[in-house]
Amino acid sequence: MKLVNATTSFVILTLATTFLAGCGNDDWKTTDEIEILSESKSPDGKYIVTVFSCSGGGAAGYTYTNVNLREASEPLNQRDFLLGEHLWRSFADISANWKDSATLEVVYRWASNHPEHKAKNGRTVSKKGDVKISYVLLPTD
């Protein structure tokens, strides 16, 4: 009888943990505060590039500035960005300039010289859809 109670308790605990861990994972979709810093359509109107800042995360909190590229028919997704992989405050002075309908240039600088920020956020997206993206890294002050 004790084995049945232990097994039942384990199953209930496992299910409760799984359920609770899944709750709130998408809260950021409605609780993040987004400020559009600049936004422009590609010359052919097919794409939109948005430079934005985002803050959220409740008491733990996070804030970051980044750039998003998407088809004009899609809404902004603040977790789909071109610079870095994490929600660290690693980038500053971001601008995005269309060279033509298929070429975008992103200019930015590191927000700090912290080596861990650079190591964890060195990724850039070189192409999205039909748009080739080039980057200009400005010197850090």
Q: What is the residue extent of each domain of the chain?
A: 29-138
- Average pLDDT score over residue span 75-92: 89
Residue 25: per-residue pLDDT: 52
Beta bridge partners of 67: 51
Please state, in angstroms and rounded to a whole number, the distance separating the CA atoms of residues 105 and 32.
27
Closest by CA to 104, choosing from 36, 34, 44, 35, is 44
Q: What is the pLDDT of residues 7-48, one digit of tens each?
A: 665 545 554 444 444 444 555 456 789 999 999 999 999 999
- Residue 27 has phi, psi (to 5 degrees) of -55, -35
Name the least confident of 40-44, 54-58, 72-76, 130-134: 54-58
Using 50, 70 and 90 to split pLDDT, how confident is the model at 121? Answer: confident
Closest by CA to 104, choosing from 113, 116, 96, is 96
